[in-house]
Amino acid sequence: MNTALHVFIRSVDSLSEFSGKLCAWGLVAIGFFITFEVVMRYVFNAPTIWVDEVSRIVQVWVVYLGTAYVFKHGEMITIDVAFRNPGTLGRRITETLAIAVLLLFMGVTVFYGFPLWLKATLAGHTTDTYLAPPKWLTHAPVWVGGVLLMLQGVVQLFRVWAPTEANSSAEDAH
C-alpha cells in the first residue's frame, strides 16, 4: 500500500478512535454532573446554575464527535437484506452510494456550519442563559464532527474497494 495513503488511513482511524473514547468519557462526566446536581438539589437544597447547560454542551459534542467512531466500527444503521456478502459488486456499489450520500450531506453541514460557528466566535455571541457560555461551544461540534465523519467516510470508501489492505491497517490500529 502507498505509504502516504497508509499514514492517512491510520491517522484518521486513530483520530476516530480517540474521539470515540473522548465521547465515552464525556458521557461519564455527564453522569457525574447530573449526580452532583441531584445531591446538591435534594440533599443540600442548593441547586447549581451550571450542570444543566454544561451537560447539554458536552452531549452536543458527544453526538457529533461520536459519529466517526460509530461509522468506523460499522455500527450505523445498515440494511443488508439484498447485499449480505461484502465481497460482491452489488454490495460495494451500494456501500459506495451510501457513503457518497453521507459525504454530500456532511459536506453541506460543514459548508454551512463553519461560517455559523465563525460568525458566533468573532462576534462573541453567548447563549441566552444565566451561565451564558460562548455559542461557539455549541456551534463547533457540528462542523468539527462533520469533518471527522467525512474523513472517516473517505477511509471507509477506500476500504469498500480495497478491503484486504485497508482492513489490515484498521486492525493494526487496535
Are 132 and 54 spatial neighbours (Cβ–Cβ below 8 Å)?
no
Quote the number of domains for the chain.
1
54-103 confidence digits (pLDDT tens): 999 999 999 999 999 999 998 877 766 667 777 788 888 988 999 999 99
Name the band, by pLDDT with cuts 50, 70 and 90, for residue 25.
very high
Most confidently modeled range among 35-44, 71-80, 164-173: 35-44
Cell triple for residue 139? Answer: 456551534
Output the CA–CA distances (angstroms, integers) from residue 93 to 73, 99, 107, 133, 136, in the order listed.
Answer: 19, 10, 21, 45, 38
Name the band, by pLDDT with cuts 50, 70 and 90, for residue 2.
confident
Give me the chain's average pLDDT, please.
90
Task: Examine the pLDDT at 144 and tell me if it is beyond 70.
Answer: yes
Task: Examine the pLDDT at 155 and tell me if it is beyond 90.
Answer: yes
| Residue 117: per-residue pLDDT | 96
Residue 85's domain spans which residues?
3-172
| pTM listed for this prediction | 0.86
107-135 confidence digits (pLDDT tens): 999 999 999 999 999 999 999 888 999 99
Cell triple for residue 21? Answer: 473514547
Angle at alpha carbon of residue 110, lines to 166 and 122, rounded to 5°: 135
| Residue 164: per-residue pLDDT | 66
Task: Examine the pLDDT at 39 and tell me if it is beyond 70.
Answer: yes
